[in-house]
Structure 1
Amino acid sequence: MNFNKVKFSLITFLFLTHIKTLYAEDYFYPGALDISNSVDTTFFVKNQYIPGFYDLNVYLNGKFQQKNKIKFIDKNGELKPEISKSYLLNQGVKENKKLSLISSDDVINDLNEYYKQASFSYDINKGRFDITIPQVNLNRRLDDKRDPKSWDNGINAFRLNYTLNGSHTFTHHDNSENYFLKLEPGINYAGWRLRSNFSYAEVDESVKKNIFGTHASHEIRKYHSQFSIGEVYTKDDLFENNALLGVQLFSDEEMKPDYLRQNTPLIQGVAYSNAVVIIKQNGNIIYQMNVPPGAFEINDLIVNNQAGNLEVTVKESSGKDHQFTVPFSSTVSMQHEGQWKFSLSAGKYQSQDNYHDEPVFFQGSFAYGLSRHLTLLAGTVYADKYNALASGVNVGLNNFGAFSLGVSRSSYDSENITHNKNINNLTGYSYKVGYQKTLYEFGTTFALGQYQYNGQDYYDFEESNRNDDYTSSGFNNKKKSRYELSLNQNLGGYGSINAAIYRQDYRDNSFKDINYNINYTVNVFGANISLNYNKTESQISSNAYNIGMNVQYRLGSNDNPIYTSYNINNDNEGNTSQEVTLSGSSDDNTLNYYVTNGYRNDFSHSYHRLGANYITEHGRYALNYSHEDSSDTIGYDMNGGIIINNNQVTFSQYLAETIGIVKLDNGHGTKIKNQTGVKVDNNGYAVISNIRPYNYMNIDIDTLTLPNNLEVMENRSRVMPTRGAIVQKKFDGNWGYKAIIHITYVNQKLPFGSVVRLVNTKRNRSQGIIDEFGDVYLTGLPKKGTLKVSWGGDRKDTCYVDFNIYNDDLNVLSENCHK
């Protein structure tokens, strides 16, 4: 055997067939061919590929659509595709006059005959077929949300999220511990989504357990809406959002395309010592984490209920607590012309304490896009002794920004408040105004929102439900006005400045909730410099402010950088802290680590911290240690998810609302692209947790990480799940050995283009084509077997090859073909 020829043939083959080491993005395998046993070798030599069916990835104006079997024919010696009229229309192509003259089953070989500057193009070697057509000839696609029949409700399964964190502090005199556990079980069955939450918190030997948010939901496709029953929250742009035990029907904007519809909150604060940050929404603990001294920021909080202020408590190790409020609710949006949005809720009001009555009530709201620049809103809340009506308008002012105005009128049987039977009813008004403007030429975004409650006579629904115990508790915080202001200013090469102000004033006393945050950032000679001012004030805790500066500089390469940073902070009590931190991550971002050394108050107190965070396909795990003066603290944090279906248990990272499961037999260790730490486990499963409902998402297998003896038939698949679905996609793999086989027949090489197939086996995907040197590349081969080689159109143009595999890696063989 001439090994130089084999070596050259192998190199030529690698470039001709683009195996996975060269083309991981659009991987083509010889098994994509679906052709007959006969080969017109003359045509093949001229065109490289023969007439027949090819499985190709279809792109419309460069955007991936789906994988389809495309038929190619010989037309005047050229390979031409056959695309039916109905296929084009299904892709969103407008039917013009010329196209209307043919039937839906008629085929088109040249798109330019029907549309100017339109064409079909293909690269079978890359497994790609392109349809290129001017945008004017396309219908306004519903953002890939075609027929709702394409929406995938997913599989029936049990799902569970878990979060566990805690810390142990050791001192010479005493030890302390705190724990937080949260479980989020759920069941998907026949389109229904059952969800619940359980939390267990132990801080300073005080234990609190709670079960909350238990509800079931199902989509109503006809009305682009969701139906829920159980513990839910009203969704409203005009009134305060309220917790209830009852039923709810509301518009799901995700069911609409992007152009027809309109988030996570950002929580910033300051800890003055090693502290525990506890976040509550509607009285329930939804998040808890340990933070070191200094400014902290939480920007990855997953809030199940898109309504309700977040109450943040910072429990200092010194025993001093301070609290502040972060407003959070769904934003008021402009509706597209002719589009509407609604929310209807009915049930029993759910109090989070003993200070409120729990009447049965109804709350509803409606928004309609009267024009492209005008949206009208209306709503009501009705209970036995309370009713309110509201109306509003959102106006787009083009270059002058956007303006919103809302007016509410409440009527309240106030005897239990005034204890005066001569005053049976109080009627009052509330006004809400908002403005937003972005000055692109100046890099400025400005947003203002204000709630104004008029006099003593306006009550929102929560205030109307306060009972005598609330008044006797010492609080009488009837809301008066609320301001929200944000300003983002890009200063070009001089950095950027961000300011956010929130203030809630109360009518009957001097209490107020305040949160001011101003931040300036700039890059100077590669160093990122940040200056920050933060002030908080609430009814419970006293005034607190913090001024800080952080300087961060990157060391090392872009692929695997290490950062060093210097941070200094000063608070209203005269405490000053300085610290230096070294941090970094692995090249795939699955491992993050840091080491910090700091001092407080003129170096009289020192502290040291170190920690690491590791992400795997099974979850996220973090461990940290800190030493300060005479105390040592060890902290830990872990979270992840579990899916159980068909007697299969799969451990995963933390599960988002809508998720996908990848199934790849024998694919252990294969990575999923664009998914940090996600790879196929020992059972052949991988879980993806960031899928947007009612939208197509590409799931890509990283073919560079496939096991040696596994080839995938396709490395990309698309899913379009419904809200809360668990969709499963199976990738077909061809498991077996790989070989380049030089085949001769009667001491002569076989014709270029001869088709080689594995016989007497279910591995019908093991097939290939003889190249110009008489070599063929095959995958998915058994340890031993027989190949059938065919050329020409006659039965006599067939022979057989017996082979034996001797290597787990790529085998290079030379075999004779026999009759």
Structure 2
Amino acid sequence: MGYISSLGAPFRLSLCAAAIGMLGTPAFAQKSPPEQLPEKSAASVFNEDFLNYGATQKSADLSLFAFGNRVLPGRYTVRVSLNERDVGKVEIQFDDKPGKSDAEPCLTRHMLDDWGVNVLAFPALTALSDDACVADLGAAIPDASFGYDGVKLLLTLSIPQAALKRSARGAVDPGKWDTGITAGMLDYQVNFSRYGGDTYRRSSDPFAQTRSLFDNNPFDRPPNDPRRDTLYAGLRAGFNHREWRFRHFSTYSRGTDGRARWQAVETYAQRDFPAINGRLLIGDGSTPGNFFDSLPFRGVQLASDEAMLPDSQQGYAPTIRGIAQTNARVTVRQNGYVIYSTFVAPGAFVIDDLNANGSGSDLEVVVTEADGRESRYLQSFSAVPTLLREGAWRYSATVGKYRRASGQGRGYNSWGGLSQWPWTQSRQPLAEPAFLQGSLAHGLGGDYTLYGGLIVSGRYQSVLAGVGKNLRAFGAISADLTAARATVPMPLLVDKSYNGQSLRFLYSKAFEVGTNVRVAGYRYSTGGYRTFQEAADMQGLLPLERLNNRRSELRLELSQQLGDKWGSVFVSARQQSYWGARDKDRAVQFGWSGSYKQFRLGVNYNRGVYQDSRRSSQIMFTVNMPLGASGLSAQYAVTQERNGRTSQQANVFGSALDDSRLSYSVTAGHDDGQGSTGAVSANYLSPVGRFDLGHSQGAGYRQTTVGMAGGLVVHAGGVTLSQTLGETIGLARLPKAPGVGFESMSGVATDWAGNAVIPNLNPYRINRVAVRTQDLGDTLDVKNAATEMIPTRGAVVLAAFETSVGYRLMLTLADRKGEPLPFGARIESDTGVEMGIVGSEGQAFVTGAGQSGRFIVRWGQRTVDQCTVTYSLPEAESPPPIREMTASCE
């Protein structure tokens, strides 16, 4: 081996690594099954002379490796697999056992209980304290065993199914839920648009010139200035302290008419009660919509939270689909409040990340095109039939005042309802009566579920009773009957009472042939039936006014897979009629999507007929294809409206930069009404937010949009800017590690202080966060590059990563006489952390070294078999990834 000294450092490093790999390292030892463990008497015997062949370097005491890759005593962070199911990471103490060559894990009663073992069923476990080690797992739990893979740091447990607790698929132990840290947060979204062209000139107003003479606003524009600006801002502020969540949501909007409006959508405090799978809310909220219509309220609510249940016991969230012909703004309202606003590119769009308030109130969707045209439709949002497992409960209790959107008056619901005379437009606000609402559902045997509810108010009382049944191969169905009594005060007359009933059927089924009937429902109400909202709208009616209450309603959501070659279709339909009105509201959506070779094809159709005589219909055909391997794609779309107006668009879009942080789109088109049109848009996802930019232009109009969305978190370590937060978030902390990204999280990276916000975590579920190790650089190491978090709803959970900043060194070590240190000697830090092993010619590779310090080198069991290396690295502006130095060990 004497010739090695003439070779370069890279080759010496690889040879050193190979020698270390031959010998093995204690931290990555392999544990054999108990029955295959070698006995001490069968220890392997190494002939150490081969290490000295052709050289004079001494070797260290190799008895450490006499039994293969040994597991040494100590604490290791390992991943635990129970019956081939991952149950997370845990730090475990490994201790020596008599007669065993490897240290074995100390499995405590508390650990086994956390992993789902029914410890109360075994006397040997119940007699132990929570932190006591189980001496013999196989004796305590018959047929149980374990194994440890030190290379993968994986501890595998095999436990008989009969020894485990019963739990539903996807269940997470509530004891592992993390309520998070004390923190403040702000989530914001701002969209600004400027419109221009003849289309947006001010309408003629005989008083406009007179008003401008008395307007001292220096920013006022001439009456015929074609420019128009709109602005939307949504702010969600919050504060967390222990289990409590305090939130406030406000929106600001200013339209092309210059009128500004600020809405305080909701302010509330809430906390979880895991023992009853419930959540307490104080302030503004919405009642559940699975039985009665969802009602916005201000008061107190205690209700079960479905998200606390296992995945197998949860329902679904609404999805909004539509068609945009230009760079359009999509606005979503629920109960009169704007809850979502965004810009979409031309073509068919899907909004599947909506965080709607309540769980069953219809959504009003407004698509505003770049040239000012609007299309409106209702998105049906109804809960699936309420079926519970046997013995399960679902409940809700609300006490408060009916809450309307600020400025909401009569006629806000354009889908039917109140009919008004012109001279009654200016009047007092609608009533906001106090009420109590409760609902309860219980799962019975035989796949039945009983449910009921009531609403009690001063002038309104309603009671509901229903039953659901799982028909298994035929789907699930529920039916309920509601009886209501409403008393309406009449001016100068005796109060008038209305009594009626409403019968509802709901059905849901996923067929094996690929058909999925998500919600099929029918409701019929008698002429005297009034919902709570209708009764509130009738308060203070004038003699000539009337309210056309609902008569019948039919809903359907259907999707069908057409095999591997023909794609899939979906249909959504809704029809509603009113007492005292001849016309009906009808809305139908149809879509097909499929592929042929590299082409993706789609057809979307919307049609709406409403009681106020509005009619609309659109049909769009799209074809999409990739443009080579560059990530670019092209799309062609043609749209025809009810009036025969046809528009065509050709669109090229793609993404760039790391993690596809930058996305862009270029569109050219032709419209029968506007002539040639064009649009460009781009958005960039950065660690501090998302930035959007777009421009559209056609005959008679111009539109430029600018938007940004992001958030910030205030915590004990300072202020951290981030992308949009979402409801539940994590705070990753990597000390002295700026600019480090995370796997599968585009644009997320640590700031100058090493903090990063991980947005949109799933509450009550295991969320894995992994550091992108290629961003760590040459002087930074992280002990555990991945961690798991199980947050409660609305929590800010801390994910602390242990980092070490230091240099990578290639050392050449010698004793006082200048002789190389023994081969295989261990190098430790002052704190006893192993940092490397001496290889041939006294060379050793060490990581995590500081600018200066000392190492302890050990090559035997005696006190004299060790020495100390003191070192100091010279300052360098651009140090190499691996620094070489020679040191003497004293």
Normalising by structure 2, we get a TM-score of 0.83
- Map of 2:520 onto structure 1: 449
**Residue 10 (1) aligns with residue 10 (2):** no
Is 1:324 the counterpart of 2:374? The answer is no
Instruction: Choose 1 or 2 for highest CA Rg.
Output: 2
Distance in 1, matches of 2:822 and 2:706, equals: 66
Which of the numbers 866, 869, 887 marks the counterpart of 1:798? Answer: 866
Query: Using the alignment, how far apart are the partners of 1:695 and 1:645 within structure 2?
Result: 23
**Equivalent residue number for residue 313 of structure 1:** 366
Check if 1:196 corresponds to 2:268: no
- In the alignment, is residue 518 of structure 1 matched against residue 570 of structure 2? no
| Counterpart AA for 1:201 | S
Q: Structure 1 pair 292/79, CA: closer, same or farther in 2 (3 Å)? A: closer
Aligned pairs for 1:382-397 (under 5 A) are 382-397=456-471
Match of 1:152, SS state, is coil
Letter in 1 for 2:797: V
Alignment correspondent of 2:227? 175
Counterpart Cα distance in 1 of 2:265 and 2:603? 40
Q: Which of 89, 95, 117 matches 1:93?
A: 117
**Greater shift in the superposed pair: 274-283 or 540-549:** 274-283
The residue number in structure 1 matching 2:535 is 464
Instruction: For 2:783 and 2:473, locate their aligned partners in 1 and report how far apart those are by CA, in whole Å.
Output: 52
Structure 1: segments with no counterpart, 5+ residues: 19-27, 34-38
Give the letter aligned to residue 573 of structure 2. Answer: I
The separation in 1 between residues aligned to 2:67 and 2:25, in whole angstroms, is 21
Aligned mates of 2:840, 2:479 — CA distance in 1 = 75
1:24-67 Cα deviation digits (max 9, x unpaired): xxxx999899xxxxx97313254234521141322222414222
The separation in 2 between residues aligned to 1:646 and 1:32, in whole angstroms, is: 36
| 1:366 alignment partner in structure 2 | 440
Compute the displacement of 1:401 (Å): 0.9
Give yes or no for the alignment of 1:641 onto 2:711: yes
State the 1:331 CA deviation.
4.0
Q: How far apart, in 1, do the equivalents of 2:881 and 2:26 lie?
A: 16
Q: Which moved more, 1:730-739 or 1:47-56?
A: 47-56
- How far 1:275 sits from its partner (Å)? 4.6
Change (3 A) 1:144 1:265: closer
User: Deviation digits for residues 399-434 of structure 1, max 9, x if unmatched?
Assistant: 1111111111112224549x864x853321111111
Distance of 1:468 and 1:102 partners within structure 2: 68
Using a 3 Å threshold, how does the CA distance of structure 1 residues 364 and 656 change in structure 2: closer, same or farther? same
**Cα distance, 1:75 vs. partner?**
6.0
Instruction: Tell me which residue corresponds to 1:151.
Output: 177
The answer on whether the counterparts of 2:464 and 2:480 sit within 8 Å (CA) in structure 1 is yes
- The worse-fitting range, judged by mean Cα deviation, of 478-487 and 750-759 is 750-759
Displacement after TM superposition at 1:217 (Å) = 1.0
Which of 745, 770, 774 lines up with 1:675 in the alignment?
745
Contact 2:332 2:365 in 1 (8 A): yes
Shift in alpha-carbon separation, 1:131–1:375, aligned structure 2, 3 A = same
Give the SS at the match of 1:301: coil
Question: Structure 2 vs 1, CA of residues 809 and 674 (structure 1 numbering), >3 Å: closer, same or farther?
Answer: same
The separation in 1 between residues aligned to 2:181 and 2:665, in whole angstroms, is 41
Tell me if structure 1 keeps the 8 A contact 2:590–2:604.
yes
Q: 1:706 to 1:794 in 2, by over 3 A?
A: same
CA contact (8 A) 2:71 2:150 kept: no
Q: Aligned in 2, Cα 1:330/1:57: closer, same or farther, shift over 3 Å? A: farther
Question: What is the distance in 1 between the residues matched to 2:20 and 2:252?
Answer: 57
Q: Does the 8 A contact of 1:354 with 1:469 survive in 2?
A: no
Q: Are residues 548 and 148 of structure 1, via their aligned partners in 2, closer, same or farther at CA, if it must alter by over 3 Å?
A: closer
Would the alpha carbon gap of residues 40 and 388 (structure 1) be closer, same or farther in structure 2, given more than 3 Å must change?
A: farther
Displacement of 1:816 in angstroms is 4.8
Cα offset, 1:654, TM superposition: 0.7
Which residue of structure 2 aligns with residue 563 of structure 1? 633
Maintained 8 Å contact 1:83/1:109: no
| Cα displacement (A) at 1:477 | 3.2
Of 399, 409, 412, 2:483 maps to 409
Residue of structure 2 in register with 1:692 after alignment = 762
1:83 counterpart (106, 111, 125): 106
- Alignment-derived partner of residue 768 in structure 1: 836
Shift of 1:456: 0.9
Percent of residue pairs identical: 28
Question: Hey, what's the Cα distance between the residues in 2 that align with 1:226 and 1:213?
Answer: 17
Alpha carbons of 1:276 and 1:697: their partners in 2 closer, same or farther (altered >3 Å)? closer
2:342 to 285, 289, 305: 289
1:224-623 matches, cutoff 5 A: 224-259=277-312, 261-271=314-324, 275-291=328-344, 295-316=348-369, 320-352=373-405, 353-355=408-410, 356-371=430-445, 373-416=447-490, 421=494, 425-440=497-512, 442-467=513-538, 476-492=547-563, 493-540=565-612, 542-557=614-629, 561-586=631-656, 588-601=659-672, 605-623=675-693
1:785 matched residue in structure 2? 853
1:528 Cα deviation from its structure 2 partner: 0.5
TM-score, scaled to structure 1: 0.89
Post-superposition Cα deviations, 1:553-592, rounded to whole Å, max 9, x if no partner, equal 11223xx521111111111111111111111112512111
Which structure's residues are more often strand, by fraction?
1
Contact kept? 1:802, 1:815, Cα under 8 Å: no
Does the 8 Å contact 1:82/1:108 carry over to 2? no
In 2, distance between residues paired with 1:17 and 1:412? Answer: 85
* Conserved? CA contact 1:167–1:290, under 8 Å: no
CA spacing shift, 1:695–1:473, aligned 2, 3 Å? farther
Matched AA of 1:495: G
Number of residue pairs aligned between Structure 1 and Structure 2: 795
The AA in structure 1 aligned to 2:234 is K
1:146 is displaced (CA, Å) by 6.3
Q: Aligned equivalents of 1:723 and 1:405: distance in 2?
A: 32
Superposed displacement of residue 651, structure 1: 0.8
Q: Which runs of 5+ in 2 are unaligned?
A: 30-59, 202-225, 411-429
Match of residue 423 from structure 2: none
- Once the two structures are TM-superposed, the CA of residue 532 in structure 1 deviates from its matched residue by 1.6
Letter in 2 for 1:653: Q
Opposite residue 67 of structure 1, the aligned amino acid is: V
1:657 aligns with 2:681: no
Shift of the 269–708 alpha-carbon distance from structure 1 to 2, 3 Å rule, reads same
- The alignment yields a C-alpha RMSD, in angstroms, of 3.2
8 Å contact 2:465–2:480 — kept in the other structure?
A: yes
In the TM superposition, residue 139 of structure 1 has moved relative to its aligned partner by 2.5
Partner residue in 2 for 1:21: none
Amino acid at match of 2:157: I
Over 3 Å counting, the alpha-carbon distance change for 1:566 and 1:17 in structure 2 is: farther
Determine helix, strand or coil for the equivalent of 1:679: coil
Structure 2 residue identity aligned to 1:522: G
Deviations along 1:434-468, whole A, 9 cap, x unmatched?
1112112x111124432423321111111111236
What SS does the aligned partner of 2:537 have?
Answer: coil
Alignment check: 8 A CA contact 2:386 2:478 kept = no
Shift in CA distance, 481/68, structure 1 to aligned 2, threshold 3 Å: same
Q: Distance in 1 between matches of 2:197 and 2:496?
A: 61
TM-aligned CA deviation for residue 798 of structure 1? 0.7
Distance in 2, Cα, partners of 1:671 & 1:317:
37
In the alignment, the residues of structure 2 paired with residue 502 and residue 703 of structure 1 have an alpha-carbon distance, to the nearest angstrom, of 52
Equivalents in 1 of 2:597, 2:171: separation in Å? 47
- What SS does structure 1 have at the residue aligned with 2:444? strand
Give distance in 2, aligned partners of 1:360 and 1:98: 56
Letter in 1 for 2:853: G
Distance 1:336 1:474 in 2: 48
The alpha carbon displacement at 1:712 in A equals: 0.8
| 1:350 to partner: Cα distance | 1.4
